[in-house]
Amino acid sequence: MGRLFGTDGVRGIANAELTPELAFNLGKAGAFALSKENQRPVIVIGKDTRISGDMLENALTAGILAVGGNVIKVGVIPTPAVAYLVKYYNADAGIVISASHNPFEYNGIKFFSGDGYKLDDDLEERIEDMIMRGIDPNSHMTGEKLGRCLDAEGEAADIYCKFLLSTIDIRLEGMKIVLDCANGASYRTAPAVYRDLGAEVITIGCDPDGLNINDHIGSTHPEKLQQKVVEEKADLGLAYDGDADRLIVVDEKGLIIDGDKTICICAKMLKDAGQLAENKVTATVMSNIGFHKYVKEILGAEVEVTGVGDRYVLESMRKTGCVIGGEQSGHIIFLNYTTTGDGTLSSLQFVKAVKASGKKPSELSAEIEIFPQVLVNASVANDKKNAYKDDEEVQTAIRAIEEETAGSGRVLIRPSGTEPLVRVMIEGSDIERIHQLAQELADLISKKFG
């Protein structure tokens, strides 16, 4: 697999790239790296609904137990729930088995530290180094030194739901809400929370079978949700991805409100309440020009820009004291409540913003002008993702596009952190023209480095 850890843990096709042997070794190396002198590490493990989850969960568990660590299995549960439960159970670390929005045949393993944040790079590198060099931290531990599986204190899903309910101080009687849970990890928790708040809840994507996670459903495929909202004459629709750490909203007209607009709407709520800490909003380089204009001109706030990936958003927020940030894709972090992106929590804050405004979601969305944006993937060899930076032909093409879109758009080229792709993004006022430019540039990059 080359380097194990990408921007969001270790991922690959289950039982081909991400094998039980690798999961076992990740469990051993992770538990060893996290252990303290004369103290057994306690690690919380959660997973989404993929068929490979059981296999990887048991392999990870075996690795942890083999080096004397203890495991608390919390079953199928959203990624952000594990980040919360690690602190709740006073554990040393958490592990999530999920490949987020990817198809069911993929899976991933992601570590959280004891304070609910993703592992620091140095710890990831230590774990990876042990595996890549074949270092066995303790292959002959026997007897009472072996670890064991511990019973969780209370039902983990209920504990997480109570936390979510503590983040909102309004009732939702009279609201009709459609939830799309992507046949993933939130299929029980999200509907339970909204029903507890008094909303009329209609669900789709809540029948996981191990194979249908993200299968033309969820935040990356909101078409069914759009249709259902219109059919049911609902007030809004909320879509999560497979591990429920991202959110896409659908307004009452069936139109999409993406992460950029959702962040803007929630940031305005915080600003109006005097809670927009440091008068800043954090976003990535992929955020739309319209996002920047709204935050600066309407909110009178600053935008802190980071690289793509919720871990980089979080790092920036922790440094600056900003309490809201995220990505266009729907990873949104409310740092005054949690330590990672949480689709359900973000949706609760969005609903709170809608109620506070007295407006319909479509009216709030219309206040934010989003410029046309085209994203085209260029297929490249994994070892050539950055070759475009030093290629004069590609750089000349980029400069020509920048000159053409000057003042009304921009060009952004970004290597994927998890796939053999280079992403070409162009913004501008003429959608047909920028699509043509993006496709031509992506084709050039693929031809040269594919």
The residue type of 287 is S
> Could you tell me the two tokens for 27?
């469990």
The closest of 240, 224, 252 to 189, measured between CA atoms, is 240
The closest of 132, 103, 113, 107 to 42, measured between CA atoms, is 113
Provide the 10 A C-beta neighbour count for residue 59. 22
For 140-169, the DSSP string reads: T--GGGS--EEPPSS-HHHHHHHHHHTT--
Verify whether residue 100 is a known catalytic residue: yes
Provide the 10 A C-beta neighbour count for residue 369. 11
Residue whose entry in the numeric block shows the structure tokens 């068929």: 51
Q: In terms of C-beta density within 10 A (0-12 exposed, 13-18 middle, 19 or more buried), how is residue 418 classed? A: middle
CA angle, 297 then 300 then 302, to 5°: 100
Distance of CA 308 to the CA centre of its chain: 11
95 neighbors 43 (Cβ within 8 angstroms): yes
The residue type of 383 is D
Residue whose entry in the numeric block shows the structure tokens 């029903």: 195
d(CA 84, CA 94): 9
The continuous run of DSSP H or E covering 13 comes out as strand 9-13
Of 98, 100, 329, 347, which one is the catalytic site residue?
100
Active-site residue set: 100
